[in-house]
């Protein structure tokens, strides 16, 4: 077994597939991917990721796919014991806060239980291997909505100068409405921290903003920017849920996520937490995203406005990246928001051509 083996859960998803590609092509790892296409179960045919699995199998030399559900405790332990990977990157999840309410047990068993299965397997089989967990900014619940805001022409922004750089990792995760998805991800997040602090495992939680890129199977309930661009290209109606369409998200390209994971693996720390997003520079509101999509497609965005916002949804959220840059000064955002949208549009157009 090669010494540089990486195990990636959710390997057919946006972040998982980017991690597989980056670690294989740039860092020389042998990649083992775990994915059972649960996204198609959660979201139906539009969420299907088999195309991405096949892409990895065709393009990455030595890539091994494992059709395994992370809720299978014995199966997870057996695989980790067999591989004893040098790195574990955990991106598999039930990712939608809207969908979670309809499938609470599936959501919690996947997000919290699946993460615990992997952590315990790592502790038993490869306790010195860095364990990178893809968490979410939804662990903060709707507490960011309590920050005083200012309404601008096309977006909301923070009026409080303490948040001029965005939301820091010290922000409260307690006593707020998370959605059931957010709550299950809090449980996973805290367990990853605990395995780092209690057992001194090299773990980190990456509390993602809007993770995006050309390999996203974006759907209405998850994958804001990818789905928005798809709607624009197809002339499909996009539904805006509340906040006048001025709600703000920071968008980070999946490549920059993979690059940070590589930086952490090179110099791991125990029980760390990082807010991993595009920061203020790569942030946009829905209205602003419409304009950017229109610039690349030449098509006017079709949308309707729904007065009711999503439960627990953030009005304004962008990540304070200063802790990440302090700990890993060679890392920074490398893909701009405009370039990200250009790549997403090109990828959707290519998929439409190839069927």
Instruction: Note the pLDDT tens digit of each residue in 286-315.
Output: 999 999 999 989 999 999 999 998 877 899
**Distances 123 to 14, 62, 127, 193 between C-alpha atoms, Å:** 27, 26, 5, 13
- Chain segment 165-194, per-residue pLDDT in tens: 999 999 999 999 999 999 999 999 999 999
- Chain segment 211-231, per-residue pLDDT in tens: 999 887 777 867 789 999 999
Residue 135, pLDDT above cutoff 50 = yes
So what's the pLDDT on residue 1? 42
- Return the bridge partners of 277, or none: none
Average pLDDT over every residue of 123-151: 97
So what's the pLDDT on residue 221? 67
- Chain segment 224-283, per-residue pLDDT in tens: 899 999 999 999 999 999 999 999 999 999 999 999 999 999 999 999 999 999 999 999
Domain ranges of the chain: 5-354
Residue 133, pLDDT above cutoff 80 = yes
Q: Mention the CATH class of domain 5-354.
A: alpha beta
Model confidence band, residue 3 (pLDDT cutoffs 50, 70, 90): low
Asked if residue 175 lies in contact with residue 186, where contact means CB atoms within 8 angstroms, the answer is no
So what's the pLDDT on residue 268? 98
Average pLDDT over every residue of 96-118: 93
Average pLDDT over every residue of 78-88: 98
**335 half-sphere exposure, CB direction, 13 A CA radius:** 22
Average pLDDT of every residue of the chain: 94
């Amino acid at each position: 077994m090669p010494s540089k083996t990486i195990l990636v859960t959710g390997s057919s998803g946006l972040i998982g597939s980017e991690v597989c590609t980056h670690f294989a092509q740039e860092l020389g790892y042998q990649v083992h991917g775990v994915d059972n296409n649960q996204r198609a179960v959660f979201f139906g045919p539009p969420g299907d990721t088999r195309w991405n699995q096949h892409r990895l199998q065709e393009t990455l030399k030595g890539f091994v796919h494992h059709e395994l559900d992370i809720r299978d405790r014995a199966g997870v332990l057996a695989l980790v014991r067999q591989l004893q990977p040098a790195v574990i990157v955990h991106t598999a999840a039930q990712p939608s806060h809207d969908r979670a309410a309809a499938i609470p047990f599936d959501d919690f068993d996947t997000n919290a239980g699946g993460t615990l299965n992997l952590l315990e397997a790592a502790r038993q089989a490869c306790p010195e291997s860095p364990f990178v967990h893809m968490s979410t900014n939804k662990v903060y619940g709707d507490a960011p909505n309590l920050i005083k805001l200012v309404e601008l022409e096309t977006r909301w922004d923070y009026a409080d100068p303490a948040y001029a750089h965005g939301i820091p990792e010290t922000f409260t995760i307690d006593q707020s409405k998370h959605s059931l998805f957010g709550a299950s991800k809090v449980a996973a997040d805290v367990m990853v921290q605990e395995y780092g602090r209690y057992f001194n495992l090299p773990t980190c939680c990456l509390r993602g903003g809007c993770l995006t890129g050309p390999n996203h199977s974006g759907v209405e309930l998850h994958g804001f920017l990818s789905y928005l661009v798809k709607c624009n290209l197809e002339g499909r109606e996009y539904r805006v849920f509340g906040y006048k369409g001025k709600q703000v998200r920071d968008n980070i390209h999946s490549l920059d996520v993979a690059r940070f994971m590589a930086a952490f693996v090179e110099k791991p720390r125990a029980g760390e937490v990082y807010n991993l997003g595009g920061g203020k520079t790569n942030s946009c509101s829905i209205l602003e995203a419409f304009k950017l999509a229109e610039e690349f497609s030449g098509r006017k965005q079709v949308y309707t406005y729904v007065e009711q916002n999503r439960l627990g949804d953030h009005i304004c959220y962008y990540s304070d990246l200063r802790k990440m840059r302090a700990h890993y000064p060679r890392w920074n955002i490398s893909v701009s928001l405009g370039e990200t949208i250009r790549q997403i549009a090109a990828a959707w157009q290519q998929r439409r051509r190839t069927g």
